[in-house]
Amino acid sequence: MVSELGRRVLNVRRKVENLMMQQSQVYHTDIPARLDRLPWSRWHWLIIVSLGITWILDGLEVTIVGSIGSVLEKHVGLNLTAGQVGLEAGLYLFGGVSGALVLGYLTDRLGRKKLFLWTLVWYGVFTVLSGLSWNFLSFGIFRFLTGVGIGGEYAAINSAIDELIPARRRGWTDLAINSSWWIGTMVGSVESILLLNPHIVSPYWGWRLTFLLGAILALAVLLVRRMVPESPRWLLTHGRGREAEEVMSGIEAKIVKWTGKPLEKPDWSIDIDPKQTTGLGTIVHVLFRQYPKRTVLSLSLMVTQAFLYNAIFFTEALVLTTFFGVHSADVGYYIFPFAVGNLLGPWLLGPLFDRWGRKPMIAGTYLVSGILLFVSAELFLNHLLTATTITAAWSIIFFFASAGASSAYLTASEIFPVESRAMAIAFVYAVGTLVGGVVAPPIFGALIQTKSVHNVFIGYLLGAALMTMGGIITLFLGVRAERRSLEQVARPVTEAVFHQPGSLRNV
């Protein structure tokens, strides 16, 4: 009897202790508010430079491979056929999709920093091996694995950037970083002109050395990227509250030292309960049950911009050579101004995404680019354009379209909870790439192959219609995320209590 009573008392005691332990894991924190109220400083520029390199590397990779395609078909290359060159591009793209899905999931599970360090190393290794390839099989494998690294970077980088940049500048920062893809394009164009010149470098080594630049950039940035901390927001939702506080205090100390000014007091807080499940089932629930309209919005923006970009950019050289008589060796001179227009759009329009708001700017850039593409298509159909004027038209169109395309990544990265952010980005990117990106080049390639101006005109109309549709969908489903904390835009799955802004002002 006594022993039975003792066992019951012991069981009750254990239950009370377990309950107390569980209660102690609920973190009352103001860290998200402290991140958003930080003044802009050198620390934020460190984040932009060290994490933004991803897009430059991808633009560099795509441009390099596009430039060396004809070399790879020769004996100084790998003796590939035109079909094999095209298949290689598909393998790189498929690698990016695979990497985004697998490594995006791991980014949500294992952390932002751990993944954005390893994905950069992974990319560097396999881009070097691409330059050391000895046949089509080895080249295809290495290009696929290079794509895996870049795809994994997309998920890890966009998650980290949004969680570290203050809400008031999150839009411009995301757009500026995502548009840096075109810096890689410009660097790749100049690099190919130099390294593929037989008077400067041996043709056998020239195309191989083009891959080395990407690896050198990755290594240099890796040294800087190590100084970027883990996202305090991610740490909080994974039961590492003490570590999150240490990281946050370290960030604040650096910014106070650099600015010489005291920090404002945060005015809201949140209770985080990391015991809540954040597995694959949670991600599916968030995307398709909790936020289905946001998922439709993100997919619509990603698919439509992927179709337009892949349709125009990957067939630009064919249009110039087929319909305007531009020599293939001179195509790079037309790509450069096109890249400049794509780069300037997000940089100049980006601040308006934070000032005027997401919905009007995203819808506006999609609609304007769609309308302008329709106008240029009419001019093309009526033979009113030259190689120079159609390049100018593309540059103007993509001044707006580039801002819209970058906002597709911004949208996917800020409208879902922190626990599923990386996987949401990966899923939207993968679907957009497979549905819009993979389909577009073959369609436009086939239309251009007919050498019919009318057929290509139909293709341009399709691209214009899709961009217009993306803008219309945004008008109905757009989320007003400008200048709002990520926790206000999408409450964390692990949230226990959200204390409204102003709740800490008198504490």
Which residue would you say has higher pLDDT here, 314 or 282? 282
pLDDT of residue 254: 94
Q: pLDDT at residue 24 above 80? A: no
- Look-up: residue for tokens 């332990």? 21
Q: pLDDT at residue 211 above 80? A: yes
Give the length of the chain. 507
pLDDT of residue 431: 92
pLDDT band at 276 (very low <50, low <70, confident <90, very high): low
pLDDT of residue 505: 39
Task: Give the integer Cα–Cα distance in Å for 188 and 199.
Answer: 19
Task: Give the integer Cα–Cα distance in Å for 348 and 203.
Answer: 40
- Look-up: residue for tokens 């790509």? 335
- In whole angstroms, how large is the CA radius of gyration of the chain? 25
Q: pLDDT at residue 87 above 50? A: yes
Q: What is the pLDDT of residues 360-405, one digit of tens each?
A: 999 999 999 999 999 999 999 999 999 999 999 999 999 999 999 9
Residues forming a β-bridge with 272 = 27, 495
Which residue would you say has higher pLDDT here, 236 or 67? 236
Q: pLDDT at residue 151 above 80? A: yes
Q: Which of 76-85, 153-162, 337-346 bottoms out in mean pLDDT, i.e. has the lowest?
A: 76-85
pLDDT of residue 90: 78
| Residue 465 identity (one-letter amino acid) | A
Q: What is the pLDDT of residues 42-57, one digit of tens each?
A: 999 999 988 888 888 8
Q: What is the pLDDT of residues 408-454, one digit of tens each?
A: 999 999 999 998 999 999 999 999 988 887 778 778 878 888 899 99
Q: pLDDT at residue 176 above 50? A: yes
Listed in sequence order, the DSSP H helices in 314-357 are: 316-323, 331-355
pLDDT band at 82 (very low <50, low <70, confident <90, very high): low
pLDDT of residue 448: 85
pLDDT of residue 126: 94
Task: Give the integer Cα–Cα distance in Å for 385 and 320.
Answer: 11
pTM: 0.87
Q: pLDDT at residue 351 above 50? A: yes
Q: pLDDT at residue 277 above 50? A: yes
Q: What is the pLDDT of residues 27-41, one digit of tens each?
A: 889 999 999 999 999
| Residue 174 identity (one-letter amino acid) | D
| Residue 112 identity (one-letter amino acid) | R
| 405, 480 Cβ separation under 8 angstroms | no
Domain 33-232+277-489 maps to which CATH number in 1.10.1060.10, 3.40.50.10190, 1.20.1250.20, 2.40.160.20? Answer: 1.20.1250.20
Which residue would you say has higher pLDDT here, 32 or 207? 32
| Residue 434 identity (one-letter amino acid) | L
Task: Give the integer Cα–Cα distance in Å for 234 and 458.
Answer: 47
Residue 281 structure tokens = 């089932």
